[in-house]
Structure 1
Amino acid sequence: MTKLSVNINKIATLRNARGGNLPDVLQVAQDIERFGADGITVHPRPDERHIRYRDVYDLKPVVKTEFNIEGYPSKDFLKMVLEVKPQQCTLVPDPPDAITSSTGWDTIQHQSQLREVISALHQAGIRVSIFLNPEVRLVEAAKTAGADRIELYTGPYAEEYTKARTQPQNLQLFNDYKNTAKEAAAIGLGINAGHDLNLENLRFFKLHIEHLAEVSIGHALIADALYYGLENTIQLYKRQLQD
């Protein structure tokens, strides 16, 4: 079954809005694991408007499933990742002021940078995933750079799914996702996915993207938890990922 990694950035956003430590990010991470999630994802940004760098260090001994740290490989980010040594690091080409991730890497243009970063992460025993748009031409370069996995950027899929609820299987865009995943699997890259996946569009994506190892979901899952409760929501998402 495809694994569910829960991004807890929004929990930290809520905490930071009021100050103090409510909700407690560390406790929520432990509860999310207890409720059945397969991993915890964080995406610290330079302004620390949600997850703080200190949170990342504090989460390391707490997370007992898979710890995935994602972000732009700045000097400070890499220093933190190499010290924390999560199971996975997902490289995302975000500018410092980005509200949220909006595109994947051009693995051809940034080949040299990615190769250097990935080599350093591998030396620390960290699995590396590259955030990637659904473009077949970028897959081989991701492999050449040394990536272990790609994470398909699913923002455009989620947007188009909402526009074409009746027959999303006919979308040319979705063929791009299928073809990119097929190429990745053929050359030995693992396949992750994330961004704007939710209870409405997740099942279709899961059923039509072969070899999907992991999805990372935060915003929609935490929003759903306001209505359904955190434990129930995690189980609802896990149900969408069953084979």
Structure 2
Amino acid sequence: MTKLSVNINKIATLRNARGGNMPNVVQVAKDVQKFGAQGITIHPRPDQRHIRYDDVYDLKPIVTTEYNIEGNPIKKFVDMVLEVKPTQVTLVPDAEDAITSNAGWDTIKHKDYLAELISEFKNNGIRTSIFVDPNLDMIEGAANTGTDRIELYTEAFAEGFVKNNKAAIQPYVDCAHLAHQLDLGINAGHDLSLKNIRYFKENVPHLQEVSIGHALICEAIYEGLDAVIQQYLTKLK
């Protein structure tokens, strides 16, 4: 079964819009795990417009599954990750003013930079993952950095799925085969939803984990968090 890690950034966005502590990010993380999710993902950004740096520390003692922290490895982020020591750190090259992640790493151009970061994280017992586009050269480049896993950026798949699902999935299938040959673990995320997750899971081999936030929270507004998580878990079996 592919693991489901729920990104709770949107819960923090809703909280921050009103001030105070409702909805409570820590309580939602507890509930998400109680409902069966196998991980919690957060993506703190420098402007703290959703997940705040304080949240990162508050969540640490209550995440009993896998704790995945995503972000651009600026110094503040790196220092925080080394202090908190999550299960996994996912390195994402998003600009400080980006609304959401919109591209993977150039793992060839930034090989030395990534390799140095990854070595430090792994020496501290933190599993590493690199956010990458579905490009075979970038997969091979990722392997050369020493990372444990890659996270396939799935926006292109989500956009193409409704038009031609076979064409949309093929680059991800090819990348997954190559990543597995190179002993890289395979994660995926971005715009995956209840509409496309089963097809992605059934066609992309060796898929270990998906991180889903925006779509899952939107779906939960109508159906409830518990019910939506159960549907994802069923489709990922």
How does the TM-score come out when normalised to structure 1?
0.96
Superposed displacement of residue 176, structure 1 = 1.2
Alpha-carbon distance, 1:238 to partner: 0.8
Specify the alignment match of 2:209 in structure 1.
214
The structural deviation recorded for 1:174 is: 2.3
Query: How many angstroms apart in 1 are the aligned matches of 2:54 and 2:193?
Result: 29
* Of 117-126 and 3-12, the range deviating more from structure 2: 117-126
What are the residue-to-residue correspondences of 1:94-133 with 2, within 5 Å? Answer: 94-133=94-133
In 2, the alpha carbon distance for the partners of 1:141 and 1:63 equals 32
Moved more, 139-148 or 196-205: 139-148
3-state DSSP of counterpart to 1:108: coil
Describe the superposition over 1:144-184 as per-residue Cα deviations: whole angstroms up to 9, x where unpaired: 111000000000100011233xxx11x1x422111111000
Runs of 4+ in 1 over 6 A off after TM superposition: none
Distance 1:174 1:21 in 2: 40
1:20 partner SS: coil
Residue number in structure 2 paired with 1:190: 185
Gapped runs of 5+ residues in structure 1?
Answer: none
Amino acid at match of 1:82: L
Match of 1:91 in 2: 91
* Aligned AA (2:65): T
Match of 2:219 in 1: 224
**Matched residues in 1 for 2:182 and 2:146: separation?**
12
* Correspondence list, 1:118-197, <5 A: 118-164=118-164, 168-169=165-166, 171=167, 173-197=168-192
Structure 2: state its 5+ residue gaps. Answer: none
- Write the deviation string for residues 8-39 of structure 1: whole angstroms up to 9, x where unpaired: 00000000000000000000000000000000
CA distance in 2, matches of 1:88, 1:129: 7
2:187·2:207 contact (CA, 8 Å) conserved in 1? Answer: yes
Write the mapping of 1:9-24 to structure 2, written as runs, cut at 5 A. 9-24=9-24
SS at match of 2:208: strand
Q: TM-score, normalised by structure 2?
A: 0.99
Q: Which moved more, 1:97-106 or 1:138-147?
A: 138-147
Counterpart selection for 1:205 from 195, 200, 204:
200
CA deviation after TM superposition for structure 1 residue 207, in Å: 0.3
Report what 1:45 is aligned to.
Answer: 45
Deviations 1:66-91 (A, max 9, x none): 00000000000000000000000000
Q: Distance in 2 between the 1:207 and 1:46 partners? A: 36
Q: Match for 1:100: what amino acid?
A: T
Q: Which residue of 1 aligns with 2:32?
A: 32
Looking at structure 1, the residues matched to 170 and 18 of structure 2 have their Cα atoms a distance apart, in angstroms, of 44
Percent of pairs with identical residues: 61
Q: In the comparison of the two structures, how many residue pairs are matched? A: 237
**What do residues 175-196 of structure 1 show as CA deviations (whole Å, max 9, x unaligned)?**
2111111000011000000000
Matched residues in 2 for 1:20 and 1:224: separation? 24
